[in-house]
Structure formats: structure tokens, C-alpha cells
Amino acid sequence: MDVAAALALARRRGVDRLDAQVLLAHHLAQPRTWLIAHDDAPLPAEVQQRFTADLESRAAGAPLAYLLGEREFHGLRLAVTPAVLVPRPETEVLVDWALALLGAQPGEQTGEQTDGQPGAPRVIDLGTGSGAIAVSVARRCPAARVSATDIDAGALAVARANAQALGCAIELHQGSWWSAVAGQRFELALSNPPYIAGDDPHLAALRYEPRHALTPGGDGLDALRMIVAGAPAHLEAGGWLLVEHGFDQGAAVRALLVDAGFETVQTRRDLAGHERCSGGRWGAGPAAESHVTGSRGTAGGDAKHAT
């Protein structure tokens, strides 16, 4: 079998042309463009074997990210396994909002690690999965002290590997939502929790991903309810909670935040125009700053964030 025959086989199996090219290039350890110039290159037997196995999985609905073992998110290449939700582009809305609150400069890359110093804003990502949110924030805002939780040890192993590969120091804690960080407070709390309703027919198409990362069951809001309810005990005054939610859950999540006593409650839309993330500020007085800053530092250390 040569390259052309392999891609023809993919077509017959009903696998998307670009997916097939990406998979074949991956197994050949070549850039995708190489395939076009090497139509008649014979495939080594083990490449043929792995590629045809992947075609079957892809045709059955396995996410391309699991077959490749990686996914790009917020400009970073993250390792993913079936232990974690595949990072979605919508979640970049949450990261961008967090970075704006932290006063990170757009495009700023990791620099000198300054976390842990007095005044470093403390950030928590609840239910981190692959670590997508925590690692993106830590990379773009090296001054932040970033923690992340997950209930699943397998997910924490993926998050740990991603943090290490990308050179970020992230404190990882195993446990359900806030119980993983009992007694700790943060200036910024972030989460992309499971929010699909338990009887949503879309879950069938997502069957390869961990179910507990997609749905809390019921109406889909239970995890968001727990995160909002626990936030006041874990946020400093003036701190923010930002959460991702379903396209039709904006009003419900804003109501949860307002009822819990959050201020400046607002929602951001994703690129498709859907309400995707909502957040609010906890216990901010009239003189509150518009950026999140660490509460333990000296005024001077935080001056660049104050507006």
C-alpha cells in the first residue's frame, strides 16, 4: 500500500480527508505537505497497520485528538488521553477573560518564574482535565501562582505531564471541586465543569470522552451549582469566579452568581456567538480594582496591575 492507496482507503471508510492526511502524516513522522509530493511512497507494514486501525476508530467516532495523542489549545500543544476531555476552542474564551483580569499582555510568553512571591495572584482551575486552562494561564502569566484540581488521578497525570512539558509550576490537588483545596483562598477561580444535561442526545456522539467530564447528570447545572456555592469560602474580597457553560445556560448561571452574592455578573460569547462563559466578582467594594491582584503583597509590587 502506498500513500495514495492509503488515502483512497480512508475515503472509502468515510473518514474526512484532512483527518486522514493528519493521521497518515503523524504515523510517517512527516509534515502533511510531504504526502502530496510522495503519492507513490510505499508504507512500512507497521505504519499501514496503525493507520488502518486508526481509520476504523475514527470512522466509529473516536476524536482525532485521542488518536494523535495531542491537541492544540490557546497556541500550546497539549498531550491528551481518553482520561481527559479534548480541549475545545470555546474554552479559550475563558482563558482570554482570565488573562485580561490578571493584566497579562497579549502574546506574552513564559518568562522568569515569579510565582510564589508575595503579591502573586493565586489562581485555581477546578476540574482541570488535561490542564488546558491552568497551563495556558501559567504560561501567559508567569507571575500567577496557579493551582489545579481534578477528581481523577488519571487526569491529574495528564495535567502534570503537560505542565512539565511546557515548563509551568502548577500545584495539583486531587478531589471533587472545592474539597480538593479546603481552607485555601484565591484571587481568581476558573472552571470548565461538566454541564451537558444527563439526557442530552449529543452525549452519544461524545461517548469516547470521560462521561463525568461532560455531564453531572440531571439538568446539567449541578457542578456549576457546587462551584458557585463553594466559591465565597475560597475567594478573597475582589476576587473573580469565571465558569464555562452550555450555550443555553447563560441566564441560569448568571442567576446562580447573583443569588450567591456576586457582583458585576456578566457573560462572554464564543466565536459562534453563543453565551459560553459567565463570571462575577466576589465582595468587591466601590474602590475595587478592575484587575485581579494578589492580596498578600505590598502595594508597590502590584502597582502595574492597578487601574
* Of 52, 8, 9, 5, the residue nearest 27 (C-alpha): 52
User: Is residue 143 close enough to count as binding ligand GLN by CB under 6 A?
Assistant: no
Instruction: Kindly state the cell numbers that stand for 302.
Output: 502590584
Looking at beta carbons only, is 187 or 209 nearer to ligand GLN? 209
Which residue is listed with cell 502590584?
302
- CA 62, 68, 70, 76 dihedral sign is negative
Instruction: Kindly state the cell numbers that stand for 100.
Output: 485580561
Smallest distance, ligand GLN to C-beta of residue 206, A: 6
Cα–Cα distances in angstroms (integers) from residue 248 to residues 186, 195, 252, 267, 269, in the given order:
28, 11, 8, 12, 11
Candidate list 51, 178, 195, 282; residue touching ligand GLN; CB under 6 A? 195
Q: Which residues pair with residue 4 across a beta bridge?
A: none
- In sequence order, the 6+-apart residues with CB closer than 8 A to the CB of 229 are 260
**Local structure of residue 262 (DSSP, 8 states):** -
Tell me how crowded residue 107 is: count the other CB atoms within 10 A of its CB.
7
Q: At what angle do helices 3-12 and 17-28 cross, to 10 degrees?
A: 140
Smallest distance, ligand GLN to C-beta of residue 276, A: 8
Candidate list 21, 192, 249, 293; residue touching ligand GLN; CB under 6 A? 192
**Is 213:225 a contact under the CB 8 Å cutoff?**
no
Candidate list 133, 156, 180, 196; residue touching ligand GLN; CB under 6 A? 196
Binding mask 221-250 for ligand GLN (x = CB under 6 A): -----------------------x------
Tell me how crowded residue 205 is: count the other CB atoms within 10 A of its CB.
9
* Of 50, 58, 1, 42, the residue nearest 24 (C-alpha): 50
Looking at beta carbons only, is 6 or 133 nearer to ligand GLN? 133
Looking at beta carbons only, is 34 or 208 nearer to ligand GLN? 208
User: Is residue 51 close enough to count as binding ligand GLN by CB under 6 A?
Assistant: no
Segment interacting with ligand GLN, rule: CB under 6 A, options 27-35, 138-146, 188-196, 252-260: 188-196
Looking at beta carbons only, is 6 or 95 nearer to ligand GLN? 95
Segment interacting with ligand GLN, rule: CB under 6 A, options 106-114, 143-151, 189-197, 253-261: 189-197
User: Is residue 88 close enough to count as binding ligand GLN by CB under 6 A?
Assistant: yes
As a whole number of angstroms, the distance between CA 145 and CA 43 comes to 48
Segment interacting with ligand GLN, rule: CB under 6 A, options 22-30, 42-50, 190-198, 299-307: 190-198
User: Is residue 194 close enough to count as binding ligand GLN by CB under 6 A?
Assistant: yes
Q: Which residues pair with residue 186 across a beta bridge?
A: 235
Smallest distance, ligand GLN to C-beta of residue 129, A: 9
Smallest distance, ligand GLN to C-beta of residue 199, A: 14
Looking at beta carbons only, is 100 or 247 nearer to ligand GLN? 247
User: Is residue 177 close enough to count as binding ligand GLN by CB under 6 A?
Assistant: no
**Is 86:68 a contact under the CB 8 Å cutoff?**
no
User: Is residue 214 close enough to count as binding ligand GLN by CB under 6 A?
Assistant: yes
Looking at beta carbons only, is 150 or 244 nearer to ligand GLN? 244
**Is 184:178 a contact under the CB 8 Å cutoff?**
no
Site for ligand GLN, rule CB under 6 A:
88, 90, 192, 194-196, 206, 214, 244
